Amino acid sequence: MFKEKELSIPNQIYEKHATIYYDTDIPPKACILYFHGGGLLYGTRTDLPELHLKTFTEAGYPIIAFDYPLAPSAKLDLILEDVLGSVNHYSENFRLYTDEKLPYFLWGRSAGAYLCLLAAVSGKYKEKPAGILSYYGYGFLCDGWFLTPSNYYLSFPPVNETALAVIPSGVHAIGDLNTHYSVYVYARQKGSWIDLIYAGRQKFFYLDYTLRTCEKMPCPLFCAHSTGDTDVPYSEFLELCGKYRAQRFVASHNMHDFDRDEKNPITARLLEATVKFLDAKLS
């Protein structure tokens, strides 16, 4: 039987939770630690489609979806520290999450995948992940696309700086589409995305918060991307896969988060390929 439960995680900066999805009838093989997308500016831990939840839990992979603090009130240093804290909280307190000690995979969609990749290469974890699932993730490996106005978002109605006044000033983890998405649109229209998520010299952004200086991933990598991705260029996916010899899943689609369409056969094929990857890395 499919179930979910919420866990409160001690945190001095903001109210933090995790949601655990599992199937009581299926013996677990490993846990998936999930981090949501949203450009680090919006989104919530509970954004996973039902098809994803059922597919993975029925295959023996409970999902633990974590909060993390959102920009611009939190910058990349705090966000990454929090993600690593979540990973290590699972390793050190596994009985809060599962009945037995299990290996874990990192899974992120978009910005969540970016955070998983950074966390993995940092080496600041108690136990190494068994693998990483990157759904339309990135490592800022290709020049230009994240520092200049996005042609796709310039096709939207213009959003001005007043969008920033609507979101809370304190550190928080819940970024509702109705209040926070317009900030992401604003940032991509102006080419100011990095300014909202990072405070510091550009030199150190490239050194500390991209994958440009990292030659090796510490664990196997599965990458999925659409050829017509509107947010993260396909060239970024190719660079990421080529650099780390990732297993690839390519969708002929013109949508960034193409898997949100649960009725499209490509989504089912993606989930099937992901489960095969998970099983293979545990065998």
Q: What is the pLDDT of residues 58-93, one digit of tens each?
A: 999 999 999 999 999 999 999 999 999 999 999 999
Express each pLDDT in 118-133 by its tens digit.
Answer: 999 999 999 999 999 9
The whole-model pTM stands at: 0.97
Express each pLDDT in 251-267 by its tens digit.
Answer: 999 999 999 999 999 99
Q: Residue 66: in which H helix or E strand, if any? A: strand 63-66
- The span from the CA of 132 to the CA of 252, in Å, is 22
- Residue 74 contacts residue 180 (beta carbons within 8 Å): no
CA within 13 Å, CB half, 125: 26
Q: Does 3.20.20.150 match the CATH number of domain 2-282?
A: no
Question: Coil, strand, or helix at residue 45?
Answer: coil
Domain ranges of the chain: 2-282
